[in-house]
Structure 1
């Protein structure tokens, strides 16, 4: 088989392989690198001997991700401020199966727990294949997935929020937070709301998460003074990693994404990405 034949059999699988890699790594760029590495290995493989290309490539991608996670954990120990996954702004027709809070919960799992959970619970892979992929027997793979499920249960959404309602709340949050209307903002927030802001040490951002409605109101009261001088500009509203939110150009020309976790009509989590290294793939949204 030629290189063209290899590409022809690989390219239809590329989006699904990229989804696996991104959910394993939380990085669009790293996921793209892993998928490209998998393609190079596919080129070098005797493809006539492969009965199930998708299963074979799924194993290759997962194993490459497990190798990457070892070094990624060391880098995150020295990361400046809260670490958030790179945001993915979904196209209109896309439905995200792994939301941002769940991606953050996956960070607390061991690499093998993460792989077992994602392959089985998200991508529907049977435990025989999961075990073969991660080098464990099926019973051990089942136990890893079960343990992961217990750890991430609280991060999984309790019910589906209609897309239109979520974007309506996102627009109301943007208007209240930028105009300085703290009364309207208070009405949108849950009492135990939390905020994570990832600047990676490259742009100004909170070095620690903020928890509780009163501290959130204080923060936005301070920020309102800056917005009075230079207002944010909304590039677009949409779903970001499964959550309603928006992409903005902030004072100083900083590109930013804001994703909102919402329960019972109130905002419980605010996830702000400001690190330019994690927003390069959104360059076209300007």
Structure 2
């Protein structure tokens, strides 16, 4: 059983991660699947990949229901944990791994999220999804359409990644450090949004979504003047094809920022400063020398 399961572990982790938005929780779900299947002769399963997808997806649905209750008590906004490195064969469209997109999926209930993810990220047919979830193909099609409509209404987390994102983040660093307020203001759309997740561990972190240039600029200025963060330098790194700004405090990441852009301006910022969600990314950057 072990070799058969292990050969599909990256695929199962990819499903779990996009369902729960956390590396540690995704690893826990994959381990739960392993324990559930331990001792079974998987060689007798006709379509092993579909069978394992069924097991992991149903475990994720149960896990996500519990996590939603936990996250409702989270201090301030909750953001997903960035995944440092992925196999492009397992995650063909890495844009779907952005912090903003995974946060966007939070508006869906667990079944909607499973169907949307299996269809959008892994290109499963409705027949396959029906077998995985025990529903009819037509019902799965209807739920997928409903999920798309829900997501289309959530404009504040919509992000468009392009070649300009890296340059915009570089300018954000430069203008913030030099105090060029007018140039910094011009970087943003009028209705730019900012959501920050510090897990209640960073003094002065925003507890609500900020909308508009003035509150966003005030937040950025407050971060720049926050001596508690002890920022030593900023850099823009590429994480799974997505540009992210990293703020370093010596050898530790203080926070990361991902940005969405439209027509040459920053339209959204997602700030992640919870240390427990940055350790995998920090380890990968330090190891790879990015």
Q: Please state which band the TM-score falls in when normalised by the shorter chain.
A: 0.7 to 0.9
What is the aligned partner in structure 2 of residue 3 from structure 1?
none
Aligned in 2, Cα 1:187/1:262: closer, same or farther, shift over 3 Å? same
Q: Deviations over 1:224-253 (max 9, x none)?
A: 3347x954423651236x642122224996
Q: CA deviation at 1:189?
A: 1.0
Provide the secondary structure at the position in 1 that maps to 2:108: coil
Provide the secondary structure at the position in 2 that maps to 1:32: helix
State the alpha-carbon separation in 1 of the partners of residues 159 and 21 from structure 2: 22
Partners of 1:243 and 1:261 within 8 A in 2: no
Partners of 2:115 and 2:129 within 8 A in 1: yes
State the alpha-carbon separation in 1 of the partners of residues 140 and 100 from structure 2: 24
TM-score after normalising by structure 2: 0.85
Q: CA deviation at 1:157?
A: 6.3
Provide the secondary structure at the position in 2 that maps to 1:208: coil
State the alpha-carbon separation in 2 of the partners of residues 139 and 73 from structure 1: 27
State the alpha-carbon separation in 2 of the partners of residues 199 and 136 from structure 1: 39
Aligned in 2, Cα 1:157/1:82: closer, same or farther, shift over 3 Å? closer
Q: CA deviation at 1:107?
A: 0.4
Where do 5+ consecutive residues of structure 1 fail to align?
Answer: 1-5
What is the aligned partner in structure 2 of residue 219 from structure 1?
219
1:112 aligns with 2:111: yes
Aligned in 2, Cα 1:191/1:85: closer, same or farther, shift over 3 Å? same
What is the aligned partner in structure 1 of residue 12 from structure 2?
17
Q: CA deviation at 1:15?
A: 1.8
What is the aligned partner in structure 2 of residue 80 from structure 1?
75
Q: CA deviation at 1:254?
A: 5.4
Matches within 5 A, 1:53-64: 53-64=48-59
State the alpha-carbon separation in 1 of the partners of residues 87 and 261 from structure 2: 20
Aligned in 2, Cα 1:220/1:269: closer, same or farther, shift over 3 Å? same
Q: Which stretch has the larger CA shift, 207-216 or 8-17?
A: 8-17
The RMSD of aligned alpha carbons is: 2.8
TM-score after normalising by structure 1: 0.86
Where do 5+ consecutive residues of structure 2 fail to align?
Answer: none
Provide the secondary structure at the position in 2 that maps to 1:245: strand
Aligned in 2, Cα 1:210/1:178: closer, same or farther, shift over 3 Å? farther
State the alpha-carbon separation in 2 of the partners of residues 12 and 126 from structure 1: 22
State the alpha-carbon separation in 1 of the partners of residues 63 and 222 from structure 2: 40
Provide the secondary structure at the position in 1 that maps to 2:147: helix
What is the aligned partner in structure 2 of residue 102 from structure 1?
101
Structure 1 residue corresponding to 2:41, chosen from 32, 40, 46: 46
